[in-house]
């Protein structure tokens, strides 16, 4: 009887050759990528020089906002610090442009991050306060024309409405904060109630490579209960009639725009709608109530236009770190206290991001090595007793399936093999996989970091472009995803010899399912962060090496076989609770099956 012992030495040589070919291909694409990038950089340098020459002749502070409106009435006033460049429009007295100076957005034409990163621009964001007057009609401040007065990085926007004065005072503070102070005088003569509605319409602009991934991470986020509770909504609508929101944010993959009212938003509701193609990802609408005091609105607000950098978010002490979707409970803790600190430590050594991920994989494998060793040792022991399992299956081929399963379990028990011990490593891998699934596409330090042929480790690599669209794959093939799929397939071939084939008719072939799994993994990884694919390529390549080392240099299968034979001569070990429960369940099922057969025979 032939026994499947995984890969033989010829297969080992094949795997080594495959690895050499893959590494050679990686360096080829890396050099090709470098040549292409040098050409793109030269073109960008020339274009930037032309833009700089043109900008030298333009006014620094006040420019036209919209050519379709008279330039004498609609202007925008510029505020700038190291991190932000803002334009405040006299139409609505609202912030019309927000640029994050230290970051760039993805450019499809050049396939790199070289565009200005604009959260607000070209009227994709409009906001204002909506009041109801004594006649029952409503008016909104975003429809008013304000008069600006600028003093350094503070601008006061003032509008008159039937004798009432409305002032919006914006002050660009340090880093990513904009103080937004609202003052009114004489408003009590116009309005009929003690509330106003803050209405914000926002179209989230595409800024990253990988539209589907960025859309998934674009959603409403908000806190309540004095900043202690956090919630998010990535679906079609949000509705919080009973909570007072401490802040409301629209978060994208790596950046967020957040509005914080001094006294909170009440009766908040919001809608969002997916945009299938074009410049924008999603359309948002938010409506939250603010209270008036004596029919006047005198309240301080703050705008935050931030990168989702964990230390920065935590520094505000407003629960902003929840904007970073690192996973719930244990998963999030694993990212916050293990993967992120480990990445930061290793990257401080000056290594390229890809090699940082490589070392992270090695460290995780070392930590899990005791458990992994037990798993692979169990795998070797199961290969040794495979002939006896096959003998039991043949002997009880026509017997009751329950009886046959009991005999198989008896062989395992006599041999001292605990099948459930092999489940522990698989269970450990699930939270690690999910943590890394959250880590790689949300780690801003990886954004724009290239490695070999991947230009951005937070997005997919698409060196292989297809002339057509394949459902669930798209119009490209990711080399990292293909490489990861191949090593998972090799690992599956090496470990599938221990899988017992089902003897009952109609039961699926487990080996076939095991081979299908790596193929389906390709569909998942092809549009995911290339850093995730690279991590799992390294991880599974290490798994293969561990199996080969254990098989050829550590475990002596003859010795294991002798140990098993000795165990069989001893008194069988006392059943564990799980084994006892399984045996009792099978015996009960067997009795029920016999009873059903007897009742069926009586009816005949």
pLDDT of residue 149: 94
Between CA 494 and CA 501, with CA 500 as vertex, the angle to 5 degrees is 110
From CA 365, how far away is CA 357, in angstroms rounded? 12
52 — pLDDT class (breaks 50, 70, 90): very low
41 — pLDDT class (breaks 50, 70, 90): very low
Q: What is the pLDDT of residues 486-532, one digit of tens each?
A: 888 888 777 765 555 544 444 445 556 666 777 787 888 888 888 89
Strands (E) located in 133-228: 138-140, 147-151, 154-161, 164-172, 177-185, 195-205, 219-224
Element (DSSP H or E) covering residue 364: helix 353-384
From CA 14, how far away is CA 454, in angstroms rounded? 26
Q: Is the pLDDT of residue 91 over 50?
A: yes
From CA 309, how far away is CA 313, in angstroms rounded? 6
Of 29-43, 154-168, 336-350, 420-434, which gets the smallest average pLDDT?
29-43
Tell me phi and psi for residue 246, to 5 degrees.
Answer: -80, -35
Q: Tell me the β-bridge partners of 131.
A: 139
What is the percentage of the chain residues whose pLDDT exceeds 90? 36
Q: Which residues of 454-473 are buried (b: 16+ CB within 10 A; e: fewer)?
A: bbbbbbbbbbeeeeeeeeee
Q: Is the pLDDT of residue 325 over 60?
A: yes
Task: Check if the beta carbon of residue 101 is closer than 8 Å to that of residue 84.
Answer: yes
Alpha helices in 442-478 (DSSP H): none
Q: What is the pLDDT of residues 568-593, one digit of tens each?
A: 666 555 555 555 666 666 666 666 66
Element (DSSP H or E) covering residue 39: helix 9-55
| Helix, strand, or coil (residue 429) | helix
* Structure-token pair, residue 463: 């060196």
From CA 226, how far away is CA 245, in angstroms rounded? 8
* Structure-token pair, residue 264: 């909170």
Domain residue ranges of the chain, discontinuous segments joined by +: 9-35+336-573, 72-325
| Radius of gyration, alpha carbons of the chain | 32
From CA 533, how far away is CA 524, in angstroms rounded? 10
Query: Per CATH, the architecture of 72-325 is what?
Result: Distorted Sandwich (2.70)
Q: Is the pLDDT of residue 186 over 80?
A: yes
What is the percentage of the chain residues whose pLDDT exceeds 70? 73
Nearest to 376 by CA among 3, 5, 2: 5
Task: Check if the beta carbon of residue 583 is closer than 8 Å to that of residue 529.
Answer: no
pLDDT of residue 424: 64
Which strands sit side by side in the sheet containing 84-89, from one edge to the other? 62-64, 75-80, 84-89, 95-107, 112-120
* Structure-token pair, residue 439: 């880590």
Q: What is the pLDDT of residues 252-279, one digit of tens each?
A: 999 999 999 999 999 999 999 999 888 9
Tell me phi and psi for residue 313, to 5 degrees.
Answer: -60, -40
pLDDT, greater one: 38 or 139 = 139
DSSP secondary structure letters along 84-100: EEEEEESBTT-EEEEEE
Q: Is the pLDDT of residue 552 over 90?
A: no
Q: CB 567: neighbour CB atoms within 10 A?
A: 16
Q: Is the pLDDT of residue 151 over 90?
A: yes
From CA 276, how far away is CA 282, in angstroms rounded? 8
Mean of pLDDT values over 299-324: 94
pLDDT of residue 366: 87
315 — pLDDT class (breaks 50, 70, 90): very high
pLDDT, greater one: 194 or 251 = 251
Place of tokens 């674009």: 218
Q: CB 507: neighbour CB atoms within 10 A?
A: 10
Query: For all residues of the chain together, what is the average pLDDT?
Result: 79
From CA 533, how far away is CA 479, in angstroms rounded? 9
3-state SS of 430-477 is: HHHHHHHHHHCCCCHHHCCCCECCECCCCCCCCCEEEEEEECCCEEEE
DSSP secondary structure letter of residue 449: -
pLDDT of residue 596: 67
What global pTM score does this model have?
A: 0.75
């Amino acid at each position: 009887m032939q026994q499947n012992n995984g890969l033989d030495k010829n297969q080992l040589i094949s795997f080594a050759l495959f690895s050499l070919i893959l590494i050679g291909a990686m360096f080829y694409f890396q050099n090709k990528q470098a040549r292409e990038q040098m050409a793109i950089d030269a073109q960008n340098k020339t274009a930037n020089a032309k833009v700089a020459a043109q900008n030298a002749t333009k006014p620094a502070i006040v420019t036209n906002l919209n050519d379709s409106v008279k330039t004498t009435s609609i202007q925008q006033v510029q505020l700038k610090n190291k991190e932000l460049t803002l334009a405040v429009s006299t139409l609505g007295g609202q912030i019309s442009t927000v640029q994050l100076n230290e970051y760039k957005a993805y450019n499809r034409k050049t396939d790199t991050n070289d565009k200005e990163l604009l959260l607000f621009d070209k009227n994709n964001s409009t906001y204002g306060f909506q009041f109801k007057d004594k006649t029952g009609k409503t008016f909104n401040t975003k429809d008013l024309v304000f008069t600006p007065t600028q003093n350094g990085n503070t601008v006061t926007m003032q509008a008159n409405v039937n004798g009432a004065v409305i002032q919006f005072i914006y002050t660009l503070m340090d880093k990513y904060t904009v103080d937004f102070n609202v003052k009114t005088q004489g408003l009590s003569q116009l309005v009929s109630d003690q509330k106003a509605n803050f209405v914000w319409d926002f179209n989230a602009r595409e800024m990253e490579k990988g539209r589907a991934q960025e859309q998934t991470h674009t959603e409403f986020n908000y806190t309540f209960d004095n900043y202690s509770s956090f919630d998010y909504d990535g679906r079609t609508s949000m509705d919080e009639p009973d909570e007072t929101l401490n802040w409301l944010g629209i978060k994208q993959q790596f950046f967020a725009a957040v509005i914080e009212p001094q006294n909170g938003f009440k009766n908040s509701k919001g809608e969002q709608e997916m945009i299938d193609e074009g410049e924008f990802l999603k359309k948002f609408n938010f409506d939250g109530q603010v209270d008036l005091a004596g029919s006047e609105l005198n309240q301080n607000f703050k705008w935050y236009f931030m990168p989702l950098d964990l230390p920065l978010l935590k520094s505000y002490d407003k629960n902003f770190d929840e904007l970073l979707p690192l996973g719930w409970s244990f998963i999030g803790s694993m990212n916050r206290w293990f993967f992120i600190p480990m990445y930061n430590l290793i990257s401080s050594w000056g290594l390229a991001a890809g090699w940082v991920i490589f070392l992270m994989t090695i460290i995780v494998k070392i930590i899990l090595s005791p458990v992994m060793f037990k798993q692979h040792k169990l795998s070797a022991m199961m290969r040794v007793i495979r002939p006896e399992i096959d003998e039991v299956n043949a002997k009880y081929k026509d017997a009751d399936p329950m009886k046959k399963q009991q005999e198989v379990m008896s062989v395992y028990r006599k041999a001292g093999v605990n099948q459930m011990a092999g489940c522990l490593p698989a269970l450990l891998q699930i939270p690690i996989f999910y943590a890394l699934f959250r880590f790689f596409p949300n780690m801003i330090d990886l954004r724009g970091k290239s490695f070999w042929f991947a230009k951005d480790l937070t997005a997919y690599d698409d060196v292989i472009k297809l002339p057509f669209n394949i459902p669930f794959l798209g119009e490209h093939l990711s080399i990292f995803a293909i490489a990861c799929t191949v090593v998972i397939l090799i690992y599956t071939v090496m470990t599938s010899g221990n899988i017992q084939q089902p003897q009952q008719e109609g039961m699926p072939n487990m080996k076939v399912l095991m081979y299908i799994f790596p193929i389906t993994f390709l569909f998942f990884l092809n549009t995911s962060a290339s850093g995730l694919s690279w991590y799992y390529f390294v991880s599974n390549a290490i798994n293969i090496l561990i199996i080969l080392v254990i098989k050829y240099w550590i475990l002596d299968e003859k010795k294991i076989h002798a140990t098993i034979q000795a165990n069989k001569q001893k008194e069988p070990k006392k059943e564990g609770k799980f084994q006892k429960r399984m045996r009792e369940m099978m015996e009960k099922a067997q009795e029920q099956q016999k009873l059903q057969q007897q009742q069926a025979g009586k009816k005949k």
